[in-house]
Structure 1
Amino acid sequence: MKILVLFYSSYGHVKRMADAVVEGVKQVEGAEVILRRIPETLPETVLEKMGALEMQKSFKDIPVVELSDLENADAIIFGTPTRFGNMTGQMKQFLDSTGGLWAKGALIGKVASVFTSTGTQHGGQESTILSTHIPLLHHGMIIVGLPYSFQGQSRIDEITGCSPYGASTIAGGEGERLPSTNELEGAKFLGNHVATITSKLTR
């Protein structure tokens, strides 16, 4: 059973969440987790002005995804920051390149889930995940969210991400806030939950 964790991260917040998702997947017996990154489309000069170049360089040891990675996986967990309440252009461009997989129905019946990071509490936590579901549904994938059995999403004692739609974190307007313990636990729960459901389906 292969679980692909596929992410794009500008400043490292989504990468930290991806690591927690990977940890959750590994808790499920028989699950092989594969971590891949979405290719960067911005030139280094722009990334440098954004203050994201050094973080992008730190991801170089993680292989860039290939379409065959999606086809060979039993489940795919997508991680993307938000851009104006939607997925990043990098993630959208990659998904737009999967038309060949769609044409042959290669992803039909595979499990899919999404996690995200936003700058503010109401900056697209839910809309980013829900809008990312749309192309996955067109691919015929089975969408899995974050159930309320992860009780951390019901907390009101702190500002926190995570919703029934998926795991999420709040980065702060300047990216100064790292994922909290609760948000990382939500991401870990999501990885475990997706792998558990995939295990039942692949049987």
Structure 2
Amino acid sequence: MVKVSVVFHSIYGHIYKMAEAVAEGAREVEGAEVEIYQVPETLPYEVLEKMGAIETKNLFAHIPVLTRSMYEDVLAGADAIIFGAPTRYGNMTAQMRTVFDGLGGLWAKNAFVGKVGSVFTSSQTQHGGQESTLLTAYVTLFHLGMVIVGLPYSETRQMRMDEITGGSPYGATTIAGENNTRQPSENELAMARYQGRLVTETAKKLAGK
């Protein structure tokens, strides 16, 4: 078996839908054991309510929350980890950053060296910091010693010009729109599935499984 953990932060559900697509692609690989987790939400209920996010957060309330006590098994115990978070001014959200900042003990043990890491994201606009979010996330994964897998141009859907779409060689992306009402398109979800499958195939090869 090759163990894959998909770890995401989502508020309006876009990254959750992408995470499900990533996991779907990963499960297409024979012998893959794939689990999805959401990181703890740090925004107070009152703030989420003002943001109009309570209903959307409830859509994925059934997804297990990744607590610190689970890091050893879910993160260090995986052959591949695929992280997903929205952009915030060209970087990942603070909720996801908190998880990364809590990995010092496992980092000191070289727990992630040689494991496969990958990232996907979303933004409100077409050029709202998606690539910088992916690239800055990979800086952390490099420090952890992970082997990076993005979304190569063999996934030709990222080169479409006949519709507005996310996607870059650094990872699958989606565009939420000004009011967060635009949902991930089939083209974007297909790229997410491709990324999940490629990451899992790579991890399987590296693990000799």
**Smaller-chain TM-score bracket:** over 0.9
Contact 2:124 2:175 in 1 (8 A): yes
Distance 1:157 1:57 in 2: 34
Residues 1:115 and 2:124 are matched in the alignment: no
- 2:80 aligns to what? 75
Size of the alignment, in residue pairs? 203
Residues 1:187 and 2:192 are matched in the alignment: yes
- 2:10 aligns to what? 9
Gaps of 5+ in 2: none
Residues 1:165 and 2:166 are matched in the alignment: no
TM score, norm. by length of structure 1 = 0.98
Please show how residues 1-203 of structure 1 align to structure 2 within 5 Å: 1-65=2-66, 66-68=70-72, 69-203=74-208
Distance 1:19 1:59 in 2: 10
Identity of aligned residues (%): 58
- What root-mean-square deviation, in Å, do the aligned CA atoms of Structure 1 and Structure 2 show? 0.8
1:58 maps to amino acid: L
Contact 2:165 2:187 in 1 (8 A): yes
Distance 1:60 1:120 in 2: 26
Q: Deviations over 1:70-129 (max 9, x none)?
A: 011000000000001110010011110111111111111100000001000010111110
Contact 2:13 2:59 in 1 (8 A): no
| Displacement over 6 Å in runs of 4+ | none
Deviation at 1:61, TM superposition (A): 1.4
Contact 2:90 2:132 in 1 (8 A): yes
Deviation at 1:57, TM superposition (A): 2.8
Distance 1:59 1:183 in 2: 19
